[in-house]
Structure 1
């Protein structure tokens, strides 16, 4: 069984988190059955964007990171205090651990900024929220990242993406990294993609 840590910061986007639970959950029931998602955060209750409250299964401090095979991080909103948790040393330690072990790290939208803040994206290709009115790509560049304007960027073990519309594609990309292209195509078909 492959365990995926779904790392949730206060202010995360519920939609961006749900794609991981749905795609990997579909795989658990209808695919090769090899994936299970565990949600964790720094707080016993997390408030997502738009005041949607979530109780993570585990607190980050109670986890043995070596038990996990991949990391998934949804983005969020600054106005909902996303970066307070996402830029914390605890999040950085988790991200560096997965990178040091060369395990997949999947981030959606501005979660790429948390990955970059940890230091693991320096001199690597990545993207983040890229709307013409946003300065997030410029912010990502300040971490020494080779900026891409592609919708999804895979640089070795790290997946970054340009906006919330890429969320399902990121989840499918992670599933393929953890299983196979044939299995991923089966899940896409069953889910209507």
Structure 2
């Protein structure tokens, strides 16, 4: 297996588990992961939020960790990366307003490189216009955005993941085992025990 170079797009109030777990897990299997945030540089941090499912009509939100970025957004060239990861939380809602962020997402789509998005990460994909004709899972409240952007919202259990070609999506962090396993398969990563 050749190690891949993976770009992760984050922002303040990214979901804690959805940034921390894939960032560490993808490195654990040998990939390089660069986490970047528009307007920030390597060594800066973004604040995270912990979203939980506690029986309310929607998820609850609590302060998470400060997550350190390990690359500088202004220095990133999407062409240098093999795959893209878009965590959820509140960050996708506003980083999708940055045209440079949208262009990065469009590069991965146009080049048919693997893209993994979870939860509210689909908001960024919808804004970039890359879901037309594709099946995409997301947090259920994001389903209308998937549909309005020309995609097909895939309603699956919170612990499952969906693959449509190079796109791997899931509703929320309880899907991490399946979402990451399916993303690794799309990346061509083989893990033998």
The RMSD of aligned alpha carbons is 1.8
Of 167, 172, 177 in structure 2, the residue corresponding to residue 163 of structure 1 is 172
- Contact 1:116 1:140 (C-alpha < 8 Å) held by counterparts: yes
Alignment match, 2:35: 39
Q: Secondary structure at the match of 2:85?
A: strand
- Using the alignment, how far apart are the partners of 1:3 and 1:58 within structure 2? 12
- Using the alignment, how far apart are the partners of 1:111 and 1:104 within structure 2? 14
TM-score under structure 2 length normalisation? 0.80
Post-superposition CA distance 1:57-111 (Å, at most 9, x none): 122221122111000111003xxx5511144222211110111111000011110
Q: Secondary structure at the match of 1:61?
A: helix
- Contact 1:13 1:48 (C-alpha < 8 Å) held by counterparts: yes
After superposition, where does 1:18-167 map in structure 2 within 5 Å?
Answer: 18-28=20-30, 35-42=31-38, 43=40, 44-49=44-49, 50-77=63-90, 82-130=92-140, 135-150=141-156, 151-167=160-176
Give ranges in structure 1 of 5+ residues lacking alignment.
Answer: 29-34, 187-193
Post-superposition CA distance 1:152-192 (Å, at most 9, x none): 22111111111221123222222222234xx2354xxxxxx
- Using the alignment, how far apart are the partners of 1:45 and 1:136 within structure 2? 26
Q: Higher helix proportion, which one?
A: 1
Of 6, 9, 12 in structure 1, the residue corresponding to residue 8 of structure 2 is 6
Q: Higher strand proportion, which one?
A: 2
Alignment match, 1:189: none
Give ranges in structure 2 of 5+ residues lacking alignment.
Answer: 50-62
Query: Matched residue pairs, number?
Result: 171
- Using the alignment, how far apart are the partners of 2:173 and 2:97 within structure 1? 20
Please tell me whether residue 179 in structure 1 is matched to residue 185 in structure 2. no
